[in-house]
Each structure stands twice: as C-alpha cells, then as structure tokens.
Amino acid sequence: MTRRQERVNGLLRQELSSLLAKELKDPRLSLLVTITRVDASVDLRHARVFVSVLGSAEEQRSAIATLQAAAGFLHHQLKERLSLRYIPSLSFTLDQSLERGARMLQMLDALSSSQEPAP
C-alpha cells in the first residue's frame, strides 16, 4: 500500500465517521456503528469500508443494507467535502474483529480465573 493510499484511507475513514455521526439520520442505523477501516483500491476508484455494528445479527445485516442504500448520498457528501480528483465508490462490509477480540478477552479472563495461583 502506498503512502497516498494510506492517507486517503485515513481521510475517508475520518470523513465517513463524521458523516455517519452528523449527517446520516436513518432510524434503521443503531447508534453503535463504527467505521473500523477503509481500504481503497490502487487507482482510488473503489473503497471497501469496514463497519462494526454492535447488536444482533439481524441488526448488523440491516445496518449494512442501510449503509449500502446510503452509499450514493455519502459519495455525494464526500465530493463536496474532499478535494480529490476521484472520490471512490463505496461498498460496506461487516467487520467482526471487535467482537472476536472481545470474545478472546472473555476466554482469557475465564482461563486466568479458573487457574489456581501457585503458593
């Protein structure tokens, strides 16, 4: 990944987070939607946005579908906010790494509490 790609990824992540918090008012989106990372293609025409949604599996699917439906609106808002030659088209993917990390921590806590300390 080039340095430019990294900068664009960070910029897109920051702007999309701001847009989700302030501009996108959809009741189907829960308040606990977090953009974890953005991966733009080499030519910066397409970007995959990884989103973490806290909630049930149905709420997660609904949030991803809502974000996909709002991709055009978000793309338009990014055009107005950013001074890039090309604003990448957005596709949203559910990122379950935070859930896996929390589950791993629970397992480690359970493991450490079940072990007796040696005298």
Q: What's the pLDDT tens digit per position in 44-92? A: 999 999 999 888 888 889 999 999 999 999 999 999 999 988 899 999 9
* Distance separating alpha carbons of residues 107 and 94, to the nearest angstrom: 23
CATH code, 31: 3.30.300.20
The answer as to whether 15 is a domain residue is yes
Q: Is the dihedral of CA 83, 31, 96, 104 positive or negative?
A: positive
What pLDDT was estimated at residue 28?
Answer: 75
Quote the domain boundaries for residue 12: 3-114
26: pLDDT strictly greater than 80: no
In a domain, 100, yes or no: yes
At 111 the pLDDT is 85
104 contacts: CB under 8 Å, gap ≥ 6: none
For residue 119, being part of any structural domain is answered with: no
101 within some domain: yes
Structurally, the chain folds into a number of domains equal to 1
One-letter identity of residue 74: L
Residue 61: inside a domain, yes or no? yes
Asked if residues 62 and 28 have their Cβ atoms less than 8 Å apart, the reply is yes
Question: pTM value?
Answer: 0.80
